[in-house]
Amino acid sequence: MWSIVRQAHNPETNDFQQAQRELLNRYGGAVRRYALAALRNEEAADDVFQEFALRFVRGDFGKANPDKGRFRSFVKTTIYHLRQRSTQGRRRFARTRRNQQRPRKNSMVNCSLKAGAMIY
């Protein structure tokens, strides 16, 4: 498996694109299922899968080290980190959205004072 990973991250080889396709075909379904089980949200799982595929095609996994274990373990760890980042982003978005919808204290006073009226 690691030899295919090396081929997929070496654009100078003849089988570069074939190796990428093979790895994505082999692990793509597992990546999506793992993300879906962890996030319990199809859209979020799709986002995590797309981020994984983008990073893979971009060559971000070229420095993966076979001495540190199986490629499958590397993939699961990568998905875990992408899932964490996705969850944090969704929480930050929800928090920002809530803050924008919440009326601000003294907002009427501030508007009235700008217009020149006094409110008691």
Residue 56: name the closest of 78, 86, 39 by CA: 78
**In sequence order, what are the residues at sequence separation of 6 or more whose Cβ sits closer than 8 angstroms to the Cβ of residue 112?**
118, 119
- Rounded to the nearest 10°, the torsion over CA 104, 106, 110, 116 is 140
Structure-block tokens of residue 90 = 């969704």
Sign of CA dihedral 104, 107, 109, 113: positive
pTM score, whole prediction: 0.61
Structure-block tokens of residue 21 = 């396709």
What pLDDT digit, counting tens, does each position of 48-78 carry? 889 888 888 888 877 777 788 887 888 888 8
The least confident of 20-24, 38-42, 50-54, 68-72 is 68-72
Binning pLDDT at 50, 70 and 90, where does residue 120 land? Answer: very low
What pLDDT digit, counting tens, does each position of 8-17 carry? 777 777 787 8
117 pLDDT higher than 80: no
